[in-house]
Amino acid sequence: MSTDQQTDRQTDPYGASDPAEGTVYTVTGQDWDDIVNAQAEREDERIVVNMGPQHPSTHGVLRLILELEGESITEARCGIGYLHTGIEKNMEFRTWTQGVTFCTRMDYLSPFSQETSYCLGVERLLDIEDDIPERAKVIRVMMLELNRISSHLVCIATGGMEIGALTVMTIGFREREKVLDVFELITGLRMNHAYVRPGGVAQDLPPKGLDAVRDLVAWLKKHLPEYAAFCNANHIFKGRLVDVGHLDLAGCLALGITGPPLRATGYDWDLRKKQPYLGYETYDFDVITRTEADSYARFRIRLDEMWESLRIVEQCVERLAGTEGQPVMVDDPKIAWPAQMSIGHDGMGNSNEHLKHIMGESMESLIHHFKLVTEGFRVPAGQAYVPVESPRGELGAHVVSDGGTKPFRAHFRDPSFVNLQAMPALSEGGMVSDVIVAVASLDPVMGGVDR
């Protein structure tokens, strides 16, 4: 380490407390020639490979810096930040309800988890947790579990594609399209829904919504067994995943790893059971665990979790059928945005009847509607953190209010960001051909990592 580097480290309050031993590479993306030259001067058999920035089963742009000796990984590091969007900072300049349209875009494979965690935090600050209609809670649970299925399908599909199992990829996206069709029917969008709102959900299910969900459940029950038939006992598939990316319970706890990688060590940590929210304690389902702690175990867990999510969805459908016509938004005109807006015959805007309804009642109601949408509602000063079990692990929104109509701070504990730090532990000592398998088994989404 040079004298200048040591001086910088001493004057930087955020720098490491102890100088690193050995050769130090500081990689910024524009100094690759310097790194190559420095490595060449070492005169050993090791080489540094720049894998990326690219899209290796990470659902976004990730850069991996790998130090190799032959085909074995001696050191692995992640380079993140290529997908930074500034979502958390942007939320500070939007009303509490508008914030949902931002956080839903972070982990774009599990938008409902982010929406729900954020809204649960806002509702805790508003002290209206007990006032949320039961039907809204059940709809939230149903959408969360359908989203868990669609997210796991993408993980399995892209993970299969990366090792040459293209049939697994094609059928994985086939089933995911079916789930997204239902999302579009219920929320109006296939992704980035902003459907979960503080106080409930944006609108009730459409007239044939439950029938569509029933048809989807039947389709998935028919086709999910195909993944087990293709992969579970496939000796080529198992040869690529078994004993690859091993990380035991001690390693997971030390790094804060949650979700399927943690449950693959045999630890049944699932927030739906350990710290129930939205009434999850009233649903009948099992927490799937395995003990192999490798990439194959994580694949099997996701496969079995989809079946458990189907069990929960079926229970939600039964409950929703018995609560037809009940409200889906809190009964507080100072918080609830207008819902159930009827659409015109062209499907492009509000119907004339709806416009007459909101504008013809009274000037006061129109003014209230305008101010609620443009200015938003005030949230008492305080802070709250409410975690949920997303498809990738513990996802929590830390929301801070200064008593205004906008978040003072909104910060998310994203499981992809935390889990990705396990990449070196999964890869070092293994083969370069196993790096993608190890990363894919973590299922990171870079939109959630970079935010």
Token pair in block for residue 90: 């942007």
- pLDDT category, 382, cuts 50, 70, 90? very high
d(CA 451, CA 447): 6
Lowest mean pLDDT among 175-179, 293-297, 331-335, 361-365: 361-365
Write down the pLDDT at residue 140: 93
Write down the pLDDT at residue 116: 92
pLDDT of residue 209 exceeding 90, the answer is no
Cα-to-chain-centroid distance, residue 143 = 13
Average pLDDT over residues 372-378: 80
pLDDT tens digits along 244-271: 888 899 988 999 999 899 999 999 899 9
- 443 versus 345: the higher-pLDDT residue is 443
- pLDDT category, 242, cuts 50, 70, 90? confident
User: For residue 201, what are the β-bridge partners?
Assistant: 196
Closest CA to 107 of 436, 442, 415: 415
User: For residue 46, what are the β-bridge partners?
Assistant: 69
Average pLDDT over residues 275-302: 91
pLDDT of residue 21 exceeding 70, the answer is no
Give the global pTM: 0.83
Lowest mean pLDDT among 38-47, 290-299, 383-392: 38-47
pLDDT of residue 395 exceeding 90, the answer is yes
Evaluated on CA atoms 226, 229, 235, 238, the torsion sign reads: positive
Report all structural domains of the chain as residue ranges with CATH numbers, in order of start: 20-79 (no CATH), 87-335+377-450 (1.10.645.10)
Closest CA to 114 of 122, 106, 126: 106
Residue 420 Ramachandran class (φ > 0 left, ψ -120 to 50 alpha, else beta): alpha
Write down the pLDDT at residue 31: 62
Compute the mean pLDDT over every residue in the chain, rounded to the nearest whole number: 83
